[in-house]
Amino acid sequence: MIQDISPSRLNNHFTDYPLQPEDTLLYFDDSGRLLASTKAGELAFPTGADHTGGDAVYLFSCDEMRFFLCFEKPDAPAHFGSCTIRELRDQSGGKLLFCAFTAYHLWKWYHDNRYCGVCAGVLRRHGAERALTCPDCGNVRYPRINPAVIVGVIKGDSLLITRYNRGYAHNALVAGFTEIGETLEQTVQREVMEETGIRVRNIRYYKSQPWGMAQDLLVGFYCDADGDDPICMDASELRFAEWVKREEIELQPNNLSLTNEMMQMFRDGKIR
């Protein structure tokens, strides 16, 4: 999966480092497109030496590389261009892609929290921790993480495969965000019922995954269909929902997502 970058390691401890010329610089425009290069299939970003001035904030480190977010476009080489995180996902992999996903998560938080939600004052960055503070009323904002579930629903030797009505076009599983006042297990039951009309039982945890594209923490569960209710697909959410035999499951084109790993584990007979 995208976070499986061993022996490399992401260090997300916040320190208010100053930008150095050798540091990695990440710039997102207002629509969330990242300035990067995929020349010769290798993902690369500008460096601190390309910095044109303005603000830059330390994000995290990966091995010996320090990553900074800048808010003014750097003077990058001509072959650098702007691309979405989804486009990068289709073109590259490895630790730099995971860093780009994680940086997008933080950029989105900074971008969406410029003003205080209590008094409308201008938020400022906290110097000692990853937080934004309001100097007028003292309100403190921390990065937002959205819990969501990925659900592998099993019926005999088949898995409930879906495809989204819009956006990502490949095979997927039932998925959805946790709502106020419910457990993750209740989210599993509700989302499967809402999207497919299937009741489930024997819910068991599989694995989790950070997914910066939507500021998510994805939590994977397997469960069993409870009874023989027919699929009643929510066409506003899905364009496909069918029971697919183990050996007929078609995987996604890359191995970055928790969804793909869960489909593969079932297809290969490692989950029953």
Q: What's the pLDDT score for residue 109?
A: 97
Q: Which amino acid is it at 188?
A: V
Contact yes or no for 153/224 (Cβ under 8 A): yes
In angstroms, the CA 233 to CA 240 distance is: 8
In angstroms, the CA 210 to CA 101 distance is: 9
Q: What's the pLDDT score for residue 12?
A: 94
**Rg (Cα) of the chain, in Å, rounded?**
21
In angstroms, the CA 80 to CA 172 distance is: 32
Contact yes or no for 184/147 (Cβ under 8 A): yes
In this structure, what token pair is assigned to residue 177? 């965000």
DSSP output for 127-184: SSSS-EE-TTT--EE----EEEEEEEEEETTEEEEEEESSS--S-B-EEEEPPTT--H
Domains of the chain: 10-112 (3.90.79), 146-267 (3.90.79.10)
In angstroms, the CA 249 to CA 234 distance is: 21
**Count of alpha carbons within 13 Å of 149, Cβ hemisphere only?**
24
Contact yes or no for 239/163 (Cβ under 8 A): yes
Q: What's the pLDDT score for residue 227?
A: 93
C-alpha 223 chain-centroid distance: 23
CB-based contacts of 186: which residues, under 8 Å, 6+ apart?
none
Contact yes or no for 63/9 (Cβ under 8 A): yes
What's the whole-model pTM score? 0.91
In angstroms, the CA 152 to CA 188 distance is: 10
Q: What's the pLDDT score for residue 40?
A: 73
Would you write out the chain's pLDDT as a tens digit for each of its 272 residues?
999 999 999 999 999 999 999 999 999 999 999 999 988 778 999 999 999 888 899 999 999 999 999 999 999 888 899 999 988 888 777 899 999 999 999 999 999 999 999 999 999 999 899 999 999 999 999 999 999 999 999 999 999 999 998 878 899 999 999 999 999 999 999 999 999 999 999 999 999 999 998 999 999 999 999 999 999 999 999 999 999 999 999 999 999 999 999 999 999 999 98
Selection from 260, 251, 126, 151 nearest residue 201 by Cα: 151
Rounded to a whole number, what is the largest CA-CA distance in the chain?
Answer: 63
